[in-house]
Chain A
Amino acid sequence: MVSQHGLRLAAGLITSHFGDLVGKVCECLLRRGTLSLHEIIRFTELSSSQVKNCLLVLIQHSCVQAFSVPRPVASGAEIRTLTQYMALFDNILHRLRFSKFLSIVQADLGLQCRNLLEGLLQHGRLTFEQLAEREASSKGFEGSTSSQHTLRAEFDRLVHAHYVERCPRPEPFISPPEEDKLTSTKRRGAKAVNLSVEELAMIGAALPVIERFSAIGSTEEEEEEESKTSGHNSFTVGDKRKHEALIDKETQAVIVESGVLWRVNFEKFVYCLKKKACAANVRSRYGLDAGIVLEAMVESNTSKGNKNSVQSSIENIIEAVRGKPGGIGMTMEHVRVVLEKLGSSISSKESGVLYEIDLKAIIKICQTEEVEALVLKKYGEVAHRIFRFLAKQGVVQETDHISDVTLIEKKTTQGILLKLWKDEFLEMKKAIAQGSGTTQHFLWRVNWDELCVHILDDMYHAALNLSQKIAHILEQEQEALQDKAKRQRLQKGRLILESSLLKLDDALMLFHDF
C-alpha cells in the first residue's frame, strides 16, 4: 500500500513529464486502483479519445500495464473480455532516476550504449530500427551499413548485460481464480488464490528470461547457453527453435530489428544501485578494500534466485577483484580477511567452497544509519542515545530502566520518549502493576517495520516538496530573464534542490526498492 504522499509524488512526476491530462489519468489510476477505460472516462470526466491517448503515453513509458479479464455475461452467451489498466507505481518513480541509469551504463559499456539507452528512456519503448534512426538523425547523417552493424553490436551488449529487455506482453488475459481452481492442480490453485489480479497480470505479462534478453543477433548456441544459465524450462525455446530454423538468421535479425519493441530493464538498474549503496556503506565502515571485495562478490554472484544475498567462490571473487582499479594488488589472504570482516558465511557445495554475504543485513544498517542521523539532527544527542538503545534492544523497555542504563535523568528521558512517540518513532504500551496501590508503567520500543513505513512516507513528502520547489524556482527563473543576478541566484538554489532530490531518491530506494 503506497502512502498518500507517494501517490502525489508519482502523479506530480507524470504531470511534469507528460502534462496535465496524462497526469490526471495517472493520478486517477494511482488513487482508485485498476480501472477499465469507461471507468477512467467517468472518473476523470475527460473525453474517450483524450483518455485513450493518455493511456497510450503511459503504456509506452511502462507506467501502466493493461490486462484483460472475462466480462460477466449471461449464461450461454459468448465470453467477452474487458481490458483493465493498472498504474505501475515503481516504474513511475524510476523516472526520478534516469540520470543515474545513464551514468551506470556509461561507466560500464561506454558512451555509445549510453546514447542508445537515452533514446529508450526518452521514448519508453522503441524497435531497434527506430533507435538507429534516432541515432542517425542526432548525428545528422544517414546510417551506413557498417555503422548500423556497430550500433547493433552495441545494442546487443546492452541486452546481454540485461540493461535492456524485450517489452512484456501487452495485454495478458487473466482467467478468474474459480476456473483456475477447477483446471489446475491443487498446488497451483492454492498459489493463485493468494495472488491479487494485478500480481497475476504482472506474471502473465512477463516474458520467459530467455525471450526477454534474446538479443537481435543472438545465435541458437547463445540462446541455449542463456537458457542453461538462467535455469528456466527450455521447452518454449525448443518450440521457438523449430520455428526459427526455417528462417534465415539475417532475415530473422531484420524482423527483430523492425518488429520487436525494447525497453529499459529497471530491475537490473535497481540491482546496480543496490550494489552501489551496499559497497558505499561497507567502504565507509571497513575501508576501500571492503567496497572493492563486496562489488566483486556481487558481480561474480552465482545465486541468481535470491536477491537478498550474494554467493561466490574465492576464485571468482579474486578474478573480479583483480579486474577493478584498486584490486590489482590484493592478495588472496587479504581478500579472505576482508570477507571475514564483512561477516561472510562459508558453505560447501558441489561446485566447491562458497562465500555468502547477506545484502539485506547491509541494507538494514544503511536504513538504521539514516534514521539515527535524522533522530540526532531533529531531537539531539541525548534522544539519539535513547533511540539507539531502544532500536538495539528490539523489545519493550520501561522508562526507569532506560533512564538507568543510558544514564540520562528520568524526567529528561520521559520527555524525549514522549516526543519520539508523538512523532511515531516509538511505540508505547501502558502496564499496570497492582501492589500496595496501582502503579502505571510505560513501556517503549522501536517497531522497525512501522517506523520504516512512516519514514518512507516522510521521504515521499520531502521529495514532493523538493520537486514542487524546483518547479517554482523554474517559474521564477522565467520571470527573472532580465535580472541576471537574480537568475543566477535562483539557478544556484535549483542546483542545490536537484542534487538533494537525487540524494533523497537514494534514500527512498533504500526503504522501498532494496
Chain B
Amino acid sequence: MASKSKSKSAAAAAAAAATTTGLALPQKRSQPPGLNENEKKIYMLIKNREGMGISQPDIRSAINLDIRTLYKALESLQAKQLIKTVNSARNKRAKIYMDFQCQPSAELSGGHWFTNGEFDEGLVAAVRQSCLTLIKTLGVATVDDLISSINKCNIFVGGITEAQIDDILQSLKVDGVVEELKSSGVGDFSRVPVGKLCYRILPDKKEPLTGVMASIPCGVCPRISECTPDGIISPDNCVYYQAWLGF
C-alpha cells in the first residue's frame, strides 16, 4: 500500500515537473515493471513526448537528477529496450531519447526531404527537374498536374505529397525560375479553371550571363588578396594567367 502511494506520488511529481516545463502528461500511462523510481519518471517523460523525443538536458531540467544517476537510468532503459536514441536532423550533435515503439516525427527527422536523418539532395534535384520539365511542356501547370505526373513516373516511393510539391515550387519561385499566377481561363490557361493557382516558367528567364569578372582569372582567384604588383604572387608570375593565355 505504501509502495503504491509512493509510486502515485512519484508519477504526480513527474507530471508536475513535466507541466512546469510545458510537457503535458496524459492521465493514464502503463508502466513496465521492474523499474526504479528514477527510471519510471524518466521513462514516463520520454514516452509522453512520443515521436518528438527529448534530449538529455531537457530531461535534466524536467527531473532534477544528478548527471550520473540520469546516465545510469538512461543506460538501463536502453538495455531493457524501453527507449532508443535517434538523431535530430536540425541538430546533428544532439542525442534524442524516444520511446522504443515510436517513430521519429517529421520535425525531428527533418521533413519530407530527409532519408535516414540525411537531407536527400538527389531526391530534391530529381523532383525539381521533373517539375521544371513538366511546367515547360505544359506551358502552365497546377499543383495537381505536377502531383499526378510525378506519381506516374514513380520517383517517390509511396507517391509525392502536395506539401512536397509546394516546397519545390517555393524554391523555384525564390530562384526566379517560375512564377505563380492565377488562371485567366484563356490562352495557355484554357484547361485550368479560372482563378486557380498555376505556375509557368518566367518569360524573361534566360541562361545566366557570363559576367566580365567571372571570365578573367582575377575575378575568381582564391589568392587575389595576396596578389601585389611586386609580391611573391603577382600578375607577372601568375600561374592562372599562364594557363588562361596558353603560355
Contacts and interface: CB of A to CB of B under 8 A. Distances in A.
A284 interface: yes
Nearest to B114: A409
Interface residues on A, range: 35 or more
A468 B176 CA distance: 39
A462 B21 CA distance: 58
Interface string A49-63: 000000000000000
B216 A500 contact: yes
Contacts of A17: none
A218 to B, nearest CB: 41
Contacts of B218: 458, 461-462, 465-466
Contacts of B241: 469
A82 interface: no
Contacts of B121: 409
Contacts of B113: 407
Interface string B103-134: 00000000001000001010010001000000
B153 interface: no
A96 to B, nearest CB: 14
B192 interface: no
B77 to A, nearest CB: 23
B245 interface: yes
Contacts, number: 125
B214 A377 contact: yes
Contacts of B124: 407
A489 B124 CA distance: 47
Contact of B236 (A373, A406, A469): A469
A472 B220 contact: no
A369 B212 contact: no
A465 B231 CA distance: 12
B204 A468 contact: no
Interface in A293-344: none
A196 to B, nearest CB: 30
Contacts of A506: 212
Interface in A372-401: 372-374, 376-378, 384-385, 388-389, 392, 400
A173 B208 CA distance: 52
Interface string B171-191: 100111000000000000000
Contacts of B58: 436
Given A285-B206, A493-B246, A500 B224 contact: no
Contacts of A261: none
A507 B212 contact: yes
Contacts of B171: 385, 405-407
Given A385-B175, A407-B167, A468-B229, A378 B224 contact: no
A352 interface: no
Interface string B89-104: 0101000000000000
A407 B229 contact: no
27 contacts: A370-B212, A373-B210, A373-B211, A374-B220, A376-B208, A377-B219, A392-B176, A407-B113, A407-B167, A407-B168, A407-B171, A410-B119, A436-B58, A461-B227, A462-B219, A465-B227, A466-B216, A468-B229, A468-B234, A469-B236, A469-B238, A469-B241, A492-B246, A500-B215, A504-B212, A506-B212, A507-B212
Interface of B: 21, 57-58, 61, 90, 92, 113, 119, 121, 124, 128, 167-168, 170-171, 174-176, 204, 206, 208-216, 218-220, 224, 227, 229, 234-236, 238, 241, 244-247
Interface of A: 8, 284-286, 369-374, 376-378, 384-385, 388-389, 392, 400, 405-407, 409-411, 436-437, 455, 458-459, 461-462, 464-466, 468-469, 472, 489, 492-493, 496-497, 500, 503-504, 506-507
